[in-house]
Amino acid sequence: MDALAGFPDRFEVGVSTAAYQIEGAVTEDGRGPSVWDTFAHTPGRVKNGDTGDVACDHYHRWPEDVALMADLGVDAYRFSISWPRVQPTGSGALNTPGLDFYDRLVDALLQRGIAPLPTLFHWDLPQALEDEGGWLSRATAERFAEYAGHVADRLGDRVRRWITLNEPVVHMAEGHAWGGGAPGHSLMFGALPVAHHQLLGHGLAARVLRERGATQVMITNNCTPVLPASDDEADVMAAAMYDSFHNRLFNDPILLGAYPEMLASFLGDLVQEGDLEIIHAPLDALGINYYNPTRIAAAAPDADLPFDPQPIEGVPITAFGWPVVPGGLRDLLVGLKDTYGEALPPIYITENGCSTADGTDDAFRIDYLRGHLDALKSAIDAGVDVRGYFIWSLMDNFEWSEGYSQRFGLVRVDFETQERTPKDSFRWLRTALAARKPA
């Protein structure tokens, strides 16, 4: 009941989703194809051949979904805007019905007292841009800033805070280094340009958003505390390399204006004069997505990559098989404060959550959320400035290459009928949110 007691005044609690994972309606009203449409329709790429064609049909059912959030009592809703719905080929002409959709959504949220927190890119790059090189090409950073400006032109009178990118590390690694996600390249370290171009896109978009009146510009990074598999020097080195690759590659240039030493040489000529200043522009807050720590051993000498992830044993695991380590959230946040000191802006946890077995009796999720909220509270007590917590996710949805097999929702979705049924965790959170407010 008191899971939300003891947080600072105005601490924000919300839920998160992403466009391709919930909207469906992929060919409606002028939306163009994205890399995820292409990938999901390529046989063998997504479990059971699932696609986001229908997903949660949120494009049509959004009023019901907004009503669910109002009933839940959250302060804010983090969703993403589908670039190919707004600008079907990623450059040039805008698609008015696509912009209208987000316009109505924002109005409905505001009417219900729910603060909109849009993310401009959650991995669904317009396919036309991918055909010209996608994030491997520097030009995509410029296209992204133009698109950000168009969205802000339409919504900026009501929306003053934005997240530019979601988890550029996962889009680089899954999408371009090992190929488990769209666009499905397996370039290993050859994927590093995708990091630099996304970061440059973030910096350019941040400028454009500020010019249009944004008061809070953020980026969301997926961060993981990295644990060496042993005290062995090779494992310790491999863990440091992984920390550079997963965490520091994205946090250092944004917060410190420099790439981590271990990776700077791989980036070489990509980084042009002035780029780091653009990327290092002041950030109002940092979004962090936390799921679990990562345990790393040294890889075999002939392996493609120098690090080898190991299972974390002796802790509960989610339906996905991910280890549940709430204390990792505290360690991560305290570690960020130690590493970046004054350069660390206020933090929002923009995603945290777990997948559970199908059904509405999800005591597992309640324990998970309670544990992570406790860890968050202890990070705040240790002096980390955390302003909000967003649960992944409002409802079961298209879990990327796992299709519909992993259920992360507070609300169950029957993908045959589209019926939404609140789970036990939904009721638990609703009670905790209500208890927080003065009667």
Report the catalytic residues: 167, 351
Of 370, 367, 378, 365, the closest CA to residue 332 belongs to 378
Note whether 389 and 401 are within 8 A (CB).
Answer: no
Near ligand BGC by CB under 6 A: residue from 242, 291, 307, 348: 291
Alpha carbon 305 to its chain centroid, in Å, reads 24
Note whether 250 and 196 are within 8 A (CB).
Answer: no
Site string for ligand BGC, 150-169 (x = CB under 6 A): ----------------xx--
Regarding 23 and contact with ligand BGC (CB under 6 A), the answer is: no
CA distance 419 to 411: 10
Q: Tell me the one-letter amino acid at 398.
A: F
CA distance 386 to 5: 15
- Our CB check for ligand BGC shows the closer of 348 and 408 to be 408
The residue of the chain with the least Cβ separation from ligand BGC equals 291
Token duo for residue 159: 């929306």
- Our CB check for ligand BGC shows the closer of 149 and 225 to be 225
User: What are the backbone angles phi and psi of residue 180, rounded to the nearest 5°?
Assistant: -80, -10
- Our CB check for ligand BGC shows the closer of 240 and 319 to be 319
Site string for ligand BGC, 181-220 (x = CB under 6 A): ----------------------------------------
Distance in Å, CB of 21 to ligand BGC, minimum: 6
CA distance 82 to 32: 10
Of 216, 78, 205, the closest CA to residue 160 belongs to 216
Regarding 243 and contact with ligand BGC (CB under 6 A), the answer is: no
First-residue to last-residue Cα distance in the chain = 15
Regarding 322 and contact with ligand BGC (CB under 6 A), the answer is: yes
Near ligand BGC by CB under 6 A: residue from 50, 65, 351, 362: 351
Regarding 222 and contact with ligand BGC (CB under 6 A), the answer is: yes
Distance in Å, CB of 151 to ligand BGC, minimum: 19
- Our CB check for ligand BGC shows the closer of 75 and 396 to be 396
Buried b (16+ CB within 10 A) or exposed e, 350-363: bbbbbbbeeeeebe
Please give the residues from 39 up to 98 whose contact with ligand BGC meets the rule CB under 6 A: none
Give residues in contact with ligand BGC (CB under 6 A).
18, 21, 166-167, 170, 222, 224, 289, 291-292, 322, 351, 392, 399, 408
